[in-house]
């Protein structure tokens, strides 16, 4: 059993053969913050982004817009690749186009549900553009992930695969003697 107490102390109770141990380890918030910050810095150093140099809200808004454009380009690229790969399957292509149009309408309606149009200028604050772009980019990345199944395929044996192609079976590596 693990118990976590706040106030700079973590208590771990461990039960072993009817015995109970109570170990109190003080954790100073500053050390925890430094550990977490170093982890985040390490992760950020691996992949620099536009946001790394954004100091103003306008720059953050621009970075969010670029992120949204990148997500949209990936979606369009995936969609076009599916149309090309499945060009000989007219019923599928017609259905996919209808589904994509419906998804676009859903996405736009969902955005208006999240951010209803308000009469007061600036109602959602100076970060509105960044938030709007990030929300759309997130939905777009999720839609791209969904569409990629028609390019990548699904595992053999998926009884409900429908029009998704089946992934090719990878040959097993020979066993070592």
Q: What would the pLDDT profile of 28-80 be if each residue is shown by its tens digit?
A: 454 444 445 555 555 545 678 878 887 788 888 888 899 999 999 999 999 99
pLDDT at 37: 54
| Cα(73)–Cα(79) distance, integer angstroms | 10
pLDDT at 171: 75
Q: Are 151 and 78 in contact (CB under 8 A)?
A: yes
| Cα(71)–Cα(4) distance, integer angstroms | 40
Is the pTM here over 0.85, yes or no?
no
50-152, what's its fold? Answer: Substrate Binding Domain Of Dnak; Chain:A; Domain 2 (1.20.1270)
Domain boundaries, the chain: 2-46, 50-152
Q: What would the pLDDT profile of 83-130 be if each residue is shown by its tens digit?
A: 999 999 999 999 999 999 999 999 999 999 999 999 988 899 989 999
Higher pLDDT, 123 or 18: 123
């Amino acid at each position: 059993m693990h118990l976590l107490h706040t106030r700079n102390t973590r208590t771990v109770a461990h039960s072993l053969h009817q015995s109970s141990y109570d170990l109190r380890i003080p954790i100073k918030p500053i050390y925890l913050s430094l550990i977490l910050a170093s982890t985040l810095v390490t992760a950020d150093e691996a992949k620099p982004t536009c946001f790394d140099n954004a100091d103003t809200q306008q720059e953050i808004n621009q970075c969010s817009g670029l992120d949204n454009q990148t997500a949209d380009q990936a979606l369009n690229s995936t969609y076009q690749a599916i149309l090309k790969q499945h060009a000989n399957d007219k019923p599928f292509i017609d259905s996919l186009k209808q589904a994509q149009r419906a998804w676009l309408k859903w996405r736009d309606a969902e955005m208006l549900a999240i951010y209803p149009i308000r009469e007061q200028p600036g109602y959602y604050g100076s970060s509105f553009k960044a938030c709007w772009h990030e929300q759309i980019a997130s939905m777009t990345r999720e839609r791209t992930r969904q569409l990629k199944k028609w390019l990548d395929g699904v595992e053999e044996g998926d009884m409900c695969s429908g029009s998704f192609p089946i992934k090719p079976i990878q040959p097993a590596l020979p066993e070592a003697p």
